[in-house]
Homo-oligomer: A and B are copies of this chain.
Amino acid sequence: MTEQKARDVLLAKNILQQRFGDKLLTGESVREQHGHTTTYIPNQPPDAVVFAQSAEDVKWVVEVCAEHRCPVIAFGAGSSLEGQLNAPEGGICIDLSALNQIISVDEDDLTVTVQPGVTRVALNEHLRDTGLFFPIDPGADASIGGMASTRASGTNAVRYGTMKDNVLSLKAVMADGREITTASRARKTSAGYDLTRLMVGAEGTLGVITELTLKLHGLPESIVGGVCNFPDINSVCRATIQTIQYGLPIARIEMLDAVQVSACNAYSKLNLAEKPTMFVEFHGTEASTKEQSETFAEIIQEFGGSDFQWTANNEERSKLWQARHDAYWASKALRPGTDAIVTDACVPISRLADCVEETVADIKRHNLLAPIVGHVGDGNFHTAVIVDMDSPEDIETAKKFAERLSQRAIEMGGTCTGEHGIGQGKKSYLRQELGDAVDFMQMIKQSLDPQNIMNPEKIF
C-alpha cells in the first residue's frame, strides 16, 4: 500500500468511526477473522470492520470511502474459498451479517425478498411452513448475498440451476454510493441490460448487494434418495451422461471417489462400499419418483452400477446428504491436524470422464491425498488436497496441482471455476480461459468503479 493510500484509508476510517462508534471495530482478531478465507492464501485483514445495520449504513460507508478512495469489501458469512474477502490494499470491510431480515415471502409469486446477510439455512427454516424452498446449497451455510456474489450453486443445480438462475432482482449500492434496483419483480424481462446477472458473480467488485428477490420452488410431494457404486470413475461419468441425456429430471447426482467414500465412512459413520459412488435424489409426485428411481436403476446397470439402494425415508436420506455436505470436514479428518486446499473445475459433461481420470492419475503421480467429489450432472467437481499448512512445500505442491487441474479443465473447453469464483486464487487462469473477453470485463469494472474501490485486486 502506498503512503497516500494509507492516509486515504485512515481518513475514511476516522470519519466512519465517528458515525458508527462501537459498530466499527479495529481489533486484530476481528480484522483477521474478516479477511479469513478457507484457502492457502495468506490473510490480508482490512483496516476496520463496520457492522452495518441497514442499507443506509452501507450507502454511508461507500459514500465516505468513495470520497477518500478507500477500498470497500463486503462480508457475508466468510465462507468463500478463493480469497474473495482479503484486503490486499487495506480498507473497510462491511459486515452484512446483521442485515438478516426476510423482508417478504410472496407465496403466489414463488418469490422471497431478503437482506444479504440471511443464510441459506435460516432462509429455508423460515420457509418451512410454506411448502416452498430455496434450492441452492453450497456446502457451507453461506449468506445469500455472498452466494449471489460468487454465483454459487451446489448439489441441486442440475435441476434448479445456480444463483444466476434464481436471483430475480437485487438492490446494490454502487461505487458512487447510489443504490439501484436491477430489475422488476416480473419472472422474465427484456428491459435493458441484465444488471442482475452482471452483479451475480461480480464478487463485490461492482457494488455491495443490499437486497435480493429470489425464486422459490415448491417442496416436492415426494423425495427419494439413493446411493450406488461403480467399478470405476469412468463408469460413474458415463452413467451420469446417460441419465442426463435420457432426460430424467434428476434433482441431485453426485460422485464421490473411493477415497472420499472412505473419508465419509469414517467421519459420518456410514458403511458404504469403498468404491466410486453416486448419491442421487429424485423429486416429484410419489408415482414419478418411483418411476424415476426405476429408470435410473436400469440406466446404471449398463455401466456396472450396483448395490443401488433408494429410500423415501427422510432420516436415512438426510444422513446421506449430511455426509455429502460434510465431505470437506471428512477429508480434513483423514489426517488430523492437516488442512484441505479445495479446487473447483467444470467441464462439458462429455469430457468429465477424461478430466476426472487425468486428475486421478495426476494425484497418483504426485502421491497426493486428494479425495474427489463432484456435482457430476453439471460436469463440476472438486478435489480437496490434504496439506500441512505449516509446510510451504505441501502448499506449493497443492498449488501446482490446482494449476494443472485448472489448465486441464480449460483445455477441455471448461472453466477453472464452476462455483467458487476467481477471487485472488484464480486470477491467473481467467485470461487463459477467456482471452480478450477479460478486457471487456475490465472496461466494465473501470466504468462502474473508476476509482477501483470495490473489492480491489479481485477477479483481475
Assembly stoichiometry (copies): 2
What are the residues of chain B within 8 A of A441 when measuring CB–CB?
Answer: 192-193, 195
Q: A108-B245, A437-B182 are in contact. Are A417 and B349 (CB under 8 A)?
A: no
Contact with B along A411-447 (1 / 0, CB 8 A): 0011111111110001001100111111111011111
What's the least CB distance linking A452 to chain B, in Å? 14
Residue of B nearest to A416 (CB): B191
A400 proximal to B (CB < 8 A)? no
Among the 9-residue stretches A33-41, A150-158, A360-368, A390-398, the one with 4 or more Cβ atoms under 8 Å from chain B is A150-158
What are the residues of chain B within 8 A of A409 when measuring CB–CB?
Answer: 186
Q: Is the CB of A378 within 8 A of B347?
A: no
What are the residues of chain B within 8 A of A182 when measuring CB–CB?
Answer: 434, 437
Q: Is the CB of A415 within 8 A of B348?
A: no
What are the residues of chain B within 8 A of A295 when measuring CB–CB?
Answer: 285
Q: Is the CB of A436 within 8 A of B187?
A: no
Contact with B along A236-257 (1 / 0, CB 8 A): 0000010011110100000000
Q: A189-B415, A247-B218, A447-B444 are in contact. Are A164 and B197 (CB under 8 A)?
A: yes
What are the residues of chain B within 8 A of A162 when measuring CB–CB?
Answer: 188
Q: Is the CB of B285 within 8 A of A189?
A: no
A185 proximal to B (CB < 8 A)? yes
Among the 9-residue stretches A198-206, A272-280, A301-309, the one with 4 or more Cβ atoms under 8 Å from chain B is A198-206
- How many A residues, CB 8 Å from partner? 95
Q: Is the CB of B110 within 8 A of A245?
A: yes
Q: Is the CB of A218 within 8 A of B195?
A: no
A68 proximal to B (CB < 8 A)? no
Cα distance, A157 to B165, chains bound together (Å): 13
A64 proximal to B (CB < 8 A)? no
What are the residues of chain B within 8 A of A421 when measuring CB–CB?
Answer: 190
Q: Is the CB of B188 within 8 A of A419?
A: yes
Cα distance, A157 to B404, chains bound together (Å): 39
**4 pairs of A and B residues whose beta carbons are closest in the complex:** A218-B247, A447-B447, A197-B197, A108-B350
